[in-house]
A and B are shown apart, each in its own frame.
Chain A
């Protein structure tokens, strides 16, 4: 178990390091001079040189990278080119919105998708199974940004039930929840299909195992067998899927945040790319990747904790 933990942690660290290096190189090969952007066109060469020296922009690339990596390790992600605000502070304000959206989306998808998958596995090829199959493929087929647009069209513009823009009044939980409904619906809809199909497939496989046959021989009701005994094992591939698919989920939240003008990490990356405010882009992308790596790590550890067989094989 400890060896596995160590290996898995090392992989996460390497991925984050690779991402930091790639990001650093990418953003440093961008055309455009950060000094003239920060100081404006009227700055004299002396002022520009002084600024470059202060920001270490006159040093070689590897030196800049070491400073950058060191600062990142200390939790310092630099400061906003325009407002001089700490990037870490800005992101810590935005991150809760993104996490709330991701958790709400995944949460409702799991609450609907997992029971759907179980129910259709109890009676394969029944009408419920067929309908679930159609719903699954249908929800997977519609890209999340299209769901967002169509949901706005239906619920906000035609029916006028829900607000379109923003994240709600600060401190007003009810208003914030109302603003969360549509984005969470749009981001999570595809996951209902994914989860239902995944749970159905692994449930059907588990139902062929010996211990399920024993449970059946004892005369337990099919419902009890599925939800109390089989689900514990059948859920494992689903947890891995959630871990692997979390990057896709984050892509979905980026679209939802832009379309619904919600604050969040994705929205800030989009705005700051257009504004060429690179320190913020850099920090936000880094935070997103770290978030992804942590979630995958947690998913893998959960699976290995729940299923001793995975632990042994690694």
Chain B
């Protein structure tokens, strides 16, 4: 599946470079080369760059306006004018899918970064704080995870009405526990190490220890986890929008394109195909990238996942 690190010959040691800093540099360079030689990781990187580029430059790549209707050509298959066909109102599916990527990117970027930060802080607090706080936080994390996401979303939509903000909130609440648990485990392991004890005997405050000494050691695995979390987040957004609980029409999102395509699936198959492919490519891209990064930079994380 992935390239075994021992399969790749290590670069010959450079006799000129010595010293700890130089060694760290060469280890990093070695890992970078290892990553560049990993075909799965490079494919993932390519797909991820495609995802970002197509979403950010959607107006440049688009052939039509996402909301302009072309009624005479409604429900058409792929043509020279409409590359992925048109929907029930004659809107260009290719353009709508491109613009749908912007919604996915927005949800992924905001959702993942906010839940990463909150999860990191809560996890460090749980790992470093008193036992009762640790147990309480763990209980809350487990309770949140026990809610199946879709059912939580349905209940929340009944309360607040469908919107993109609500999708973001659901994404953030449901992904905090996995970050927090990971941060907690690493913090627990660090808590009793000598350099933390030394720091404390020097009189450093708890916030300082957490921010300056624990966080840099904990954040690496969390960043890798966040790469693998993007597909989950994008899927939640698309799924909720598909059910009509997220982004509302006429805004284009992969979920709304799929929903509209599903309603007319007997007339034209192109919408559900065009709406689904970017979802699959994005998921594959981030999964490949995340796994390659994990295998190279943090093989320990592989266990138990």
- Are B302 and A201 closer than 8 Å at their CB atoms? yes
Q: Is B266 on the interface with A (CB-CB < 8 A)? A: yes
Q: Is B24 on the interface with A (CB-CB < 8 A)? A: no
- Stretch from A44-52, A65-73, A145-153, A215-223 contacting the other chain: A145-153
- Are A254 and B158 closer than 8 Å at their CB atoms? no
Q: Is B131 on the interface with A (CB-CB < 8 A)? A: no
- Stretch from B58-66, B116-124, B145-153 contacting the other chain: B145-153
Contact with A along B254-270 (1 / 0, CB 8 A): 00001001100110010
Contact with B along A252-279 (1 / 0, CB 8 A): 0011001100000010011001001010
Q: Is B279 on the interface with A (CB-CB < 8 A)? A: yes
Bound together, the chains give a CA A112 to CA B231 distance in angstroms of 24
* Residue in A11, A129, A205, A273 whose CB lies within 8 Å of B157: A273
- Are A130 and B1 closer than 8 Å at their CB atoms? yes
Question: How many residues of A are counted as interface, with CB atoms below 8 angstroms from the partner's CB atoms?
Answer: 54
Bound together, the chains give a CA A19 to CA B263 distance in angstroms of 35
Q: Is B56 on the interface with A (CB-CB < 8 A)? A: no
Q: How distant is B153 from chain A, measured CB to nearest CB, in Å?
A: 9
Residues of chain B at the chain A interface (Cβ within 8 Å): 1-2, 4, 139, 142-143, 145-151, 154-159, 231, 235, 238-239, 242-243, 258, 261-262, 265-266, 269, 272-273, 276, 279-280, 283-284, 287-288, 302-304
Contact with B along A227-254 (1 / 0, CB 8 A): 0000000000100000010011011001
Q: Is A143 on the interface with B (CB-CB < 8 A)? A: yes
Known contacts A247-B146, A273-B158: A153-B280 contact under CB 8 Å:
no
Known contacts A19-B146, A26-B159, A143-B279: A133-B1 contact under CB 8 Å:
yes
Bound together, the chains give a CA A104 to CA B154 distance in angstroms of 25
Bound together, the chains give a CA A281 to CA B2 distance in angstroms of 45
Q: How distant is A102 from chain B, measured CB to nearest CB, in Å?
A: 11
Q: How distant is A118 from chain B, measured CB to nearest CB, in Å?
A: 16
* Residue in A29, A153, A248, A276 whose CB lies within 8 Å of B148: A248
Known contacts A27-B155, A141-B283: A157-B269 contact under CB 8 Å:
yes
- Are A270 and B148 closer than 8 Å at their CB atoms? no
